[in-house]
Amino acid sequence: MSADDEFDQSRFRMAMGRFATGVSVVTTRSGDHDHAMTANALASVSVEPMLLLVCVEREARFHDALIEAGVFGVSILAADQRPTAQWLATRGRPLHGQLDRIPNRVGPRTGSPLLVGGLASLECRTTAVHVAGDHSIVVGAVLAVELSDTTQPALTWYRSGYGVID
């Protein structure tokens, strides 16, 4: 990688950091383990049919678990769930028991863990995986949507830090 490439990557990261996003946790169950990761690269793709996408780093252990399972859950986080977001974004955290301290329930459509206390949760079936640089774009058909009655504001990510939107 040349110095110009490094400079461009740095500016790209800074530019994308100025795009405020919500924070979610994507989960799946593969083998005997629950898997989870914090994600802000989540987007609605289509309403008819209902599709969303999430971008997952291909080197992350979550990637292989997600591909193997073929289903996943998405929990959109409330502001008071910042410690959960931080924990599930920690590289190298233990695989076993990573959700033990986080209130969650099993999604009835996918068997994926869904976090309790968030703003909304969705269950999805993987319909496509597109390799894109060092990530995969995973497209999921939405099988179920649950809205919370919490009055908590949304947890956000902006300029490499967590924030809140009421």
Q: Where are the domains of the chain?
A: 20-165
State the amino acid at position 145 in one-letter form: V
If one counts every other C-beta atom within 10 angstroms of the C-beta of residue 82, the result is 15
State the amino acid at position 115 in one-letter form: L
Global pTM reads 0.93
Secondary structure element (H or E) that encloses residue 64, with its range = helix 61-69
End-to-end CA distance of the chain: 42
pLDDT tens across 80-135, in order?
Answer: 999 999 999 999 999 899 999 999 999 999 999 999 999 999 999 999 999 999 99
**What whole-number distance in Å separates Cα of residue 77 and Cα of residue 86?**
12
| Per-residue pLDDT at 48 exceeds 90 | yes
What is 20-165's CATH superfamily? Answer: Electron Transport, Fmn-binding Protein; Chain A (2.30.110.10)
Q: Is residue 48 classed as helix, strand or coil in its secondary structure?
A: coil
| Per-residue pLDDT at 162 exceeds 60 | yes
Structure tokens at 87: 């924990």
